[in-house]
Structure 1
Amino acid sequence: MSSAALTDLDGLPLLASLSHTHRAALAGISTREDFDPGTRLFEQGTSADRCWILLKGCAVVDSDAPGHGRMAVQSVGPGELLGWSWLLPPHRWHFGATVVSPTTAVVVDASELRKLADADPVLGYRLSLILVEALVSRLQATRIRLIDLHHNPGGH
């Protein structure tokens, strides 16, 4: 990964709790990629082998709803983490995701990230906190959406 991408990681509030050395290690197992709208990043049930940190653009997380097809669950935008299923066995996606606007992201190799976290407990702990914080934020957004849907059933 180029030093420009390391600069991208150094500037992300999401990774502020990581040392520069840890961000450099993360950059070493990552690539910076651009995605066009409509690009399918991953499918529910397939192998979770990477995660994305969006630098610009937007992706929509979706779920297969029997009898209804794909249903949008949440949008993920700049500075946010996309994809957590790589962390826990069996390392399969619980959702799917599609890019909906021109997007640039840091794409992290999940297998290598697990190795880094296992080898460095401080990094592993900090990554766990980042993931828990992202998960809590996502759960709060889902809760708000469910409350809104309950109070405005015909509005969505």
Structure 2
Amino acid sequence: MTTLKITSLPPARREHLLSLAEDVHFPAARRLFEEHTAADRFWVLKTGAVTLDSQLPNRRRAEIETLGPGELVGLSWLFPPYEWELGAETLSPVRAHEFDAARVRALCRSDPEFGFEISQWVGMVLTRRLHATRGRLLDLYESVARA
């Protein structure tokens, strides 16, 4: 399955979005967010890798997917109630563009064409991630069922 990197956005929309970014750095093994906490920001990776995970009842976290440069980290910032559906942790040192979610949502409301492009991009990433999550959880279920 192909990744939907920031380069999937039309160049003018991508540059507009990137103009809102702050450059940030994170060490390896840093938790970026936990499930069911406030989704008030999101990132596009420049370097490094981040793993998405889900806390399974009475078990350790299940790794869902690994993201790399150009990929969007965090989707829940765009959809009420603005709470993370997954957790995320850096696998290596990371450099990223960080975005204030409320600011980007406000721009999406004030510029409907920009909002449409961002919503389409995030929606496509969300669809891809749902497929990845489903596949990973089915793999985990199958391995538990065999045990």
CA contact (8 A) 1:33 1:107 kept: yes
Q: Does 1:130 align with 2:116?
A: no
Could you tell me the percent identity over the aligned residues?
Answer: 38
Decide whether aligned partners of structure 1 residues 29 and 14 sit closer, same or farther in structure 2, where only a CA change above 3 A counts: closer
Q: Does 1:79 align with 2:73?
A: no
Partner of 1:18: 10
CA contact (8 A) 1:18 1:123 kept: no
CA contact (8 A) 2:45 2:96 kept: yes
TM-score, length of structure 2 as denominator length: 0.83
SS at match of 1:142: helix
Decide whether aligned partners of structure 1 residues 124 and 15 sit closer, same or farther in structure 2, where only a CA change above 3 A counts: farther
Superposed, 1:42-61 pairs within 5 Å as 42-61=33-52
Q: Does 1:67 align with 2:58?
A: yes
Q: CA deviation at 1:127?
A: 0.6
2:130 maps to a residue whose letter is: L
TM-score, length of structure 1 as denominator length: 0.79
Alignment RMSD (CA, Å): 2.3
Decide whether aligned partners of structure 1 residues 35 and 87 sit closer, same or farther in structure 2, where only a CA change above 3 A counts: same
Unaligned segments of structure 2, at least 5 residues: none
- The one-character-per-residue Cα deviations of 1:56-112 (angstroms, maximum 9, x if unpaired) are 111111112110032212111111111011111111111111001121111111000
Unaligned segments of structure 1, at least 5 residues: 1-11
Report the count of equivalent residues. 142
